[in-house]
Amino acid sequence: MRVLVVEDERRLSDNIARALRESAGYAVDIATDGAQGFYLAESNAYDLIILDLMLPKLDGQSLLVRYRKRGHETPVLVLSARDEKESVVKLLNAGADDYIAKPFDLGEFLARAKALVRRGAGQHSPVISIGDLQLDTVSRSVRRGNKEVALAPMEYRVLEYLGHRPRAVVSKTELLEHLYDYNWEKFSNVIEVYISGLRRKIDDCSDEKLIHTVRGHGYVLRPSR
Ligand code: CA
């Protein structure tokens, strides 16, 4: 999962980014003004956008209106100041999905962010079940049958992305776009390494395989019957 944070207060954007990376395992890009935010939002594949209202160059509301007009459906969580109640109503009517008033508790912020990422993928429960595989996106823990599976952080992130799109064919390019921020050089062979690690930990112990390769297209997470 990959998140764009559009916020000009450096300390706040750093705190938010750290929380999203460390407590949610998301890849995070930061834009410090509205124009850069709009550019990044248009040119990358995000699962959530965190949007401040008062921004240099292009304000949050104009950014959102322009972004929705182009047909983008990525969920948007607005950061508002206490005295911005009226703007919040306008923003929700302009296509924002939720808001949180500053100053906010990071725990509440993370819970809202995760809920929006889930809903953006059409998933309402925090626990994703595929056959007898259970992925708890709150505790970031995985079980196959009644056995806990220990995954490396990147393996978990690959599995979580596939779990948010069960039965869909997900290409290596899509995985790379959603699992790394813009500072990373992207090599598609690393995905093969994580997939083989996941197969070893999740599928080798069972007769029912859940991770399937669609040759030339990508991977699918689904029960085999
Ligand atoms: Ca601001």
- Classified as helix, coil or strand, 204 is coil
Ligand 1: centre distance to CA 7 (Å) = 6
Distance from C-alpha of 56 to C-alpha of 137, rounded to nearest angstrom:
35
pLDDT at 188 over 90: no
What pLDDT is recorded for position 85? Answer: 73
Q: Tell me which H or E stretch contains 6.
A: strand 2-6
Model confidence at 159, pLDDT cuts 50, 70, 90, reads very high
Closest by Cα among 151, 150, 180 to 1: 180
Q: What average pLDDT score do residues 63-86 get? A: 90
Q: What is the DSSP letter of 170?
A: B
Q: Do residues 33 and 57 touch, judged by C-beta distance below 8 A?
A: yes
Tell me the three state secondary structure of residue 123. Answer: coil
Which range has the top average pLDDT, 27-41, 176-190, 202-216?
A: 27-41
Residue-wise burial string across 1-20, b where 16 or more C-beta atoms lie within 10 A, e elsewhere: bbbbbbbbeeebbeebbebb
Q: How far is CA 9 from CA 15, 72, 113, 114, 187, in A?
A: 10, 26, 19, 22, 33
- pLDDT reported for residue 90: 86
Q: Is the pLDDT of residue 170 over 90?
A: yes
Using 50, 70 and 90 to split pLDDT, how confident is the model at 32?
very high
Neighbouring CB atoms inside 10 A of 127's CB total: 14
| Centre of ligand 1 from the C-alpha of residue 65, in Å | 18
3-state helix, strand, coil in the chain (%, to 5): 40, 20, 35
Find the 214 Cα to ligand 1 centroid distance in Å: 45
CA 57 vs CA 38, 53, 130, 192: distances in Å: 10, 12, 45, 41
79 phi, psi to nearest 5 deg: -100, 120
> Do β-strands 76-80 and 98-101 pair in parallel, antiparallel, or remain unpaired?
parallel
The stretch 196-201 carries a mean pLDDT of 96
Where would I find the H helices in the chain?
10-24, 34-43, 60-69, 85-93, 106-120, 153-164, 172-179, 188-198
Residue 183 above 80 pLDDT? no
CA of 96 relative to ligand 1 center, distance in Å? 17
- Contacts for 49 with CB less than 8 Å, ≥ 6 apart: 3, 4, 6, 37, 41, 67, 74, 75, 76, 77
Q: Give pLDDT, residue 225.
A: 67
Question: Residue 57 C-alpha to ligand 1 middle, in angstroms?
Answer: 11
Q: Which of the two residues, 66 and 122, has the higher pLDDT score? A: 66
Say yes or no to pLDDT of 21 above 70: yes
Euclidean distance between CA atoms 100 and 108, whole angstroms: 9
CA of 71 to the centre of ligand 1 (A): 25
Say if residue 136's pLDDT is above 70. Answer: yes
CA 54 to centroid of ligand 1, rounded, Å: 4
**What percentage of residues in the chain have a pLDDT greater than 70?**
99
The whole-model pTM stands at 0.93
- Would the pLDDT of 82 be above 80? no
Spacing, Cα 10 to ligand 1 middle (Å): 10
Measured in Å, residue 38 CA sits from the centre of ligand 1 at: 15
Mean pLDDT of the chain: 93
How far apart are the CA of 114 and the centre of ligand 1, in A?
22
- Ligand 1 centroid–CA 216 distance in Å is 45
Residue 173 binned pLDDT confidence (cut-offs 50, 70, 90): very high
Q: Is 41 a residue whose pLDDT tops 70?
A: yes
Indicate whether 37 pLDDT > 90: yes
